[in-house]
Amino acid sequence: MKLGDKTVLVTGATGGLGRAITGALAERGATLVLSARNLDALQELSDSLPGVHRIAAADLAAEGGADRLAADAGEVDCLVANAGLSGTGDLESFSTEEVTRVIRVNLEAPMVLARALGPGMVDRGEGQIVFIGSLAGKAASPRSSIYNATKFGLRGFALALRTDLAATGVGVSIVSPGFVRGAGMFAKSGARSTAGLGTTTPESVAAAVVRAAERNPIEVGVAPIRQRALAHIGMAVPRLAVRAQSGAVAKRATQEIDAAHRAAHSVGSHET
């Protein structure tokens, strides 16, 4: 799909990754519908991008938030479901409300938006749905049971939806970053990557989103090769992954991420 004359809805647009993604899409000539919770931040972002774009403030953690956003966005040619919550921490540290919010933003909202916007794309015979997943959707990590659950679920949903929409002209892709430096949940936490695994950049994630929108790959991993290889091994041989992730070294990064996020804000704060 050529982005130059297309309308793209991007959720989580004002977060670190969201800004990189919207910048890359705008540079390709796409008209954007920018969505996040803060109206002022959305307006500032829209004004900073080349082209003329629309803004649609939405709280995807609120009941019915995704349905309202779909109605506000109207007809779009591409969905980039980028909004997300960190969801790290021991399970017992979450209230029931917090569990609901993480699941709603990370998994339910992308599903609802795809359900609402996909039929219009099918009717027009062209479109692309891009989900921002994570390598955490392939292999489990310590103190991340809720986050892992949402990303495992999102990956499964994306792959199944792609089969459902085959031959309709509408593609479905999932972009799966590893540790991202400079923006996003991992960078904001100040945590260090597990020794030797390395990091990727927001610009690389944005380039992967553009590739997904234009070329319709099934999945794009955005991480150094060792991270991607270990995620694949973890997916293929869960027993080895669980054993490796149970050690003290593997737990350090997720402990730092959890501590930083909970010190800075509540689990209900959107992070991208």
Measure the N-to-C terminal CA separation of the chain; round to a whole number of Å.
25
- Cα Rg of the chain, angstroms: 17
| Cα of 243 vs its chain's centroid, Å | 27
Q: Which strands form 7-10's sheet, in the order they lie side by side? A: 54-55, 31-34, 7-10, 78-81, 127-132, 170-177, 219-222
Q: What angle do CA 214, 29, 126 make, to 5 degrees?
A: 40
The alpha carbon dihedral of 25, 218, 85, 186 has a sign of: negative
Rounded CA separation 39/90 (Å)? 33
Buried b (16+ CB within 10 A) or exposed e, 168-182: eebbbbbbbbbbbee
Half-sphere exposure of 144 (CA within 13 A, CB side): 30
Annotation marks residue 173 as catalytic: no
Cβ(152)–Cβ(196) below 8 Å: no
- Surface-to-core class of residue 16, CB atoms within 10 Å of its CB (0-12 exposed, 13-18 middle, 19+ buried): buried
Catalytic site residue from 94, 131, 147, 157: 147
Cα–Cα separations (whole angstroms), residue 264 to 148, 231, 258 = 22, 29, 10
Active site residues: 147
